[in-house]
A and B are shown apart, each in its own frame.
Chain A
């Protein structure tokens, strides 16, 4: 009696969890990986300190692209109402 739509919904929720873990790893890795040294010796990319550029700017753009891809590739168009489902 398990609703078939729930299987899809569960899979999509799981994709959300995976994306958030990726998001955190990129954000944390670049920020503290590149930013832990002496601030006067930072490298700069487009005027921003490298850690900031990769963690907050490039990382965010990368996440938006991943989310867009997830929508196109994995998220399914399913009806939400009960009547539509029975049809």
Chain B
């Protein structure tokens, strides 16, 4: 056991815990439980909004998986990772004020609330709820597995014990604190992610004897490591460019991100969040992936990509500092899981229970149901993660793309196109999800593009064509908020 590393990690967990308990007092004192528990009372300021966007978005793959791939691929992978820069400003600029104004007007708390009001269709509510629950459940589980593996490798505890410690601490603060606890801990976690990235990048450059030296050894090993095409020249410009859709632009369609665009306080917060968020995402994505590349000359011969980041940290930093830096991937994992957990729980309570099972539920009923639903979902995910089935791990890989194919156009056109109607939205959802599952299963990298590209384009066409036809066949009134 590396005690000097574990103590800072433990202190970090304690602080997170404290925030959950503090946020719980706000929940107890609030007069609208739903708004408070699932949206934190729409009170987020600029810094909080930026950090929660960043922390929700940056996950295990940004800190563990990504640097591992960069280690094997070279600078081309850093180039690809920079396609994520728009995730910091594009979502907030496009959804931004309109989404916030509309959400307040119709008192929407979830993304589905918005779709329900805009399209007035049960099919859409149910399709959306199912995709959110399935895709995010899988996504959460993979994060859990990543977190448990990280603790396992640092402490020497068994996988199951590591998983239980990790899961228990996250579950408790989310269940009692709700969205406010999630947003506040995200602020701390986001800051740790940025600080950790900068410390580790500097330490790695020093350990490698400067940038010139590192580049020199990369070129000596394989010149393609410093080209934009990757070590084995497999990164074509078309393939890399289509990542802009998956990890940059399509992010608008991710419910866990979109819901944040309706929970901030005022215009000023939005403006500040756009600047801080872009700087934060830029720093983390650039830093972590570059660290992965730089790790190659510093620590050659690491075979499992996922171990690059933890091993490098323990190698180039003194133990206490390593503890702080390794809190970063933990923070990234926790903050992603907590956002997904609260979102799945709001989908079940608000969109299914309140819509279909018990529309007249009292505030007290909603309150106990919310606590229980959040707990049960959390515990179920943990149970699945104890012995992760192959299929679900695979599902996670396309959770991002699946959600984007389902929601992107319904959200964007719902906000900005008068003639958008429920027929268009339903067909775009079905075409998007269907094609996406088909392509990622059977036709990987169709025409050399990422598998999300065609479903997004096809669901765009389906949305526009069907909306217009439906409008012709039966006069539907133009709808605008």
A residues with a Cβ closer than 8 A to B are 2-3, 5-6, 8-10, 12-13, 15-17, 19-20, 23-24, 27-28, 31-32, 35-36, 38-40, 42, 44, 46-49, 51-52, 55-57, 60, 63-64, 67-68, 71, 75-82
Contact = CB atoms under 8 A, between A and B. Distances in A.
Contacts of A52: 75, 78-79, 226, 228
A71 B275 contact: yes
A28 B237 contact: yes
A48 B211 contact: yes
Contacts of B364: none
9 pairs of A and B residues whose beta carbons are closest in the complex: A16-B93, A47-B211, A39-B223, A9-B98, A35-B228, A9-B97, A39-B227, A47-B212, A77-B267
Nearest to B227: A39
A42 B79 CA distance: 16
Contact of A27 (B82, B100, B227, B268): B82
A60 to B, nearest CB: 5
B318 interface: no
A11 to B, nearest CB: 10
Interface in B274-299: 274-275, 278-279, 282, 286
Contacts, number: 130
Contacts of B454: none
Interface of B: 75, 78-79, 82-83, 85-86, 89-90, 93-94, 96-98, 100-101, 104-105, 210-212, 214-215, 219, 223-224, 226-229, 237, 241, 244, 248-249, 266-268, 270-271, 274-275, 278-279, 282, 286, 416, 480-481
Contacts of B248: 20
A3 B274 contact: no
Contacts of A75: 267, 270-271
B96 A9 contact: yes
Q: Is the interface of A mostly helix, strand, loop or mixed?
A: helix
Nearest to B93: A16
A36 B83 CA distance: 19
Contact of A71 (B97, B266, B274): B274
Given A24-B241, A46-B211, 9 more contacts: A13-B416, A28-B241, A31-B79, A39-B223, A39-B227, A47-B214, A49-B75, A63-B278, A75-B270
Contacts of B101: 3, 5-6, 9, 80
B215 A15 contact: no
A32 B86 contact: no
Contact of A35 (B210, B227, B274): B227
Contacts of B90: 16, 19-20
A71 B228 CA distance: 32
6 contacts: A27-B83, A48-B215, A56-B286, A68-B275, A71-B271, A77-B268
Most chain A CB atoms below 10 A, which of B93, B211, B416: B93
Contacts of A40: 219, 223
Given A60-B82, A63-B278, A32 B93 contact: no
Contacts of A13: 93-94, 96, 98, 416
Nearest to B75: A52
Nearest to B290: A56
Contacts of A81: 104
Contact of A78 (B97, B215, B223, B282): B97
